[in-house]
Amino acid sequence: MNKIYLDNAATTAIRPEVVQEMVRVLQDNFGNASSSHSYGRAAKNELETSRKSIAKHMGCSAQEIIFTANATEASNWILRGAVTDLKVERIITSKIEHHATLYTVRFLESAYGIDVDYVNVLPNGTIDPTHLVTLLEDKSKKTLVSLMHVNNEIGTVLDIAKIGRICRQYTALFHSDTVQSVGKTEFNLHELEVDFMVASAHKFHGPKGIGFAYVKKGIVLQPMLYGGEQEKGLRAGTEAVHQVVGMAKALELSLVNLNAERTYITELKNYCISQLESHFSDIRINGCETFYNILNVLLPFSEEKTAMILFHLDMKGIAVSRGSACQSGSPRPSHVLAEMLTEDVLKKPSLRISFSHYNTKAEIDAFINELKGV
């Protein structure tokens, strides 16, 4: 059975060149990057070369990149540090953020008594910037805005350049969860009014267990882990050099191939939409002008039938998602869709199909065929 992976917003297949780079480091450069002898220096060199490469591709300086285990860790550290170290008293976010943000903000609200405001979400799944401005007009408390770039469930895109300018105008700090967009679009962080952003390598064909935080120069956060001088003392613990090297290679390759892969994936997504629309008359797309690799559709079936469809697709080796991976299996409607759909529509199930350059039209055909079969 040929398996078909259409869940690239959950994670992506690692590129073979990335594996090669990682194996090279594991075999030939196993030193501890903190050791002062030649083994340590060689490992340190890999680490700092990777940091420079990532910084170059993100349009920032190497000192602004801090390696973390993943984006969840990075966002936890940033949001918590904003409250405990930068004395932020209010966080403005939205109810369609990933739980890495939402649960952390909720924790900070209960543990530190900070105020939390949620920007309105429009029915098309985008953030209402006018409401954000209204919220920011109250300048009585030091504020951080945390809004994601690309939504992982529906693929709606936030204009982070514009939101950054608004935050600057109202002297609020700005953190953006850019997990779904890093490696899939161009960044020039120094041209954006973004103070913090986060990434996870496994979302752009890199390894799991590694990510990074961008912290704008001049902002000082306290360490997330104590016990060593690694990451300028901000995250103690022996660095996983092979992971970092893998992440840098994955980002480099994603950006080198960006134009071609983006065009290819956009075509695939459009093809999938046209096929779905021609075979299922009352299918509906959730969100508008969504990111090129994410498609979220409202199915014209009952909830029970969708569970059956997912089961059937899985049996046939086809992987799609019901919502985000963290929620699949949950009978509750996704917290993202709950914000943008009306009660009656929400009763119908949604499916998230997310693409990569490894997918083909033949795979889309096979997927549609199976869907039609059920």
Active-site positions? 326
Rounded Cα–Cα distance for residues 99 and 146 (Å): 12
Rounded Cα–Cα distance for residues 210 and 198 (Å): 11
Rounded Cα–Cα distance for residues 232 and 219 (Å): 14
**What b/e sequence results for 23-32 when a residue is b if at least 16 CB atoms lie within 10 Å of its CB, and e otherwise?**
eebeeebebe
Q: Least separation, in Å, of the C-beta of 249 and ligand PLP?
A: 18
Q: Least separation, in Å, of the C-beta of 218 and ligand PLP?
A: 25
Question: Quick one: 12 or 152, whose CB is closer to ligand PLP?
Answer: 152
Question: Quick one: 96 or 309, whose CB is closer to ligand PLP?
Answer: 96
Whether residue 97 contacts residue 291, with contact meaning beta carbons closer than 8 Å, is answered with no
Question: Quick one: 285 or 325, whose CB is closer to ligand PLP?
Answer: 325
Beta strands in the chain (DSSP E): 4-5, 65-68, 90-94, 115-119, 143-146, 173-177, 196-200, 211-215, 284-285, 294-298, 318-319, 350-354
Angle at 202 between CA 70 and CA 229, to 5 degrees: 35
Q: Is 325 left (phi over 0), alpha (psi -120 to 50) or beta?
A: alpha
Q: What is the DSSP letter of 333?
A: P
Q: Least separation, in Å, of the C-beta of 304 and ligand PLP?
A: 27
Q: Is 156 left (phi over 0), alpha (psi -120 to 50) or beta?
A: beta
Q: Least separation, in Å, of the C-beta of 177 and ligand PLP?
A: 5
Contacting residues toward ligand PLP, per CB under 6 A:
70-72, 98, 100, 148, 152, 177, 179-180, 200, 324
Q: Least separation, in Å, of the C-beta of 302 and ligand PLP?
A: 28
Question: Quick one: 154 or 172, whose CB is closer to ligand PLP?
Answer: 154
Whether residue 276 contacts residue 270, with contact meaning beta carbons closer than 8 Å, is answered with no
Question: Quick one: 99 or 139, whose CB is closer to ligand PLP?
Answer: 99
Question: Quick one: 88 or 148, whose CB is closer to ligand PLP?
Answer: 148
Whether residue 113 contacts residue 89, with contact meaning beta carbons closer than 8 Å, is answered with no
Q: Least separation, in Å, of the C-beta of 324 and ligand PLP?
A: 6
Q: Least separation, in Å, of the C-beta of 301 and ligand PLP?
A: 26
- CB neighbours of residue 232 within 10 Å: 9
Q: What is the DSSP letter of 252?
A: H
Residue 362 CB contacts under 8 Å (≥ 6 apart), including other chains: none
Question: Quick one: 42 or 215, whose CB is closer to ligand PLP?
Answer: 215
Q: What is the DSSP letter of 350?
A: E
Rounded Cα–Cα distance for residues 3 and 116 (Å): 44
Rounded Cα–Cα distance for residues 91 and 144 (Å): 5
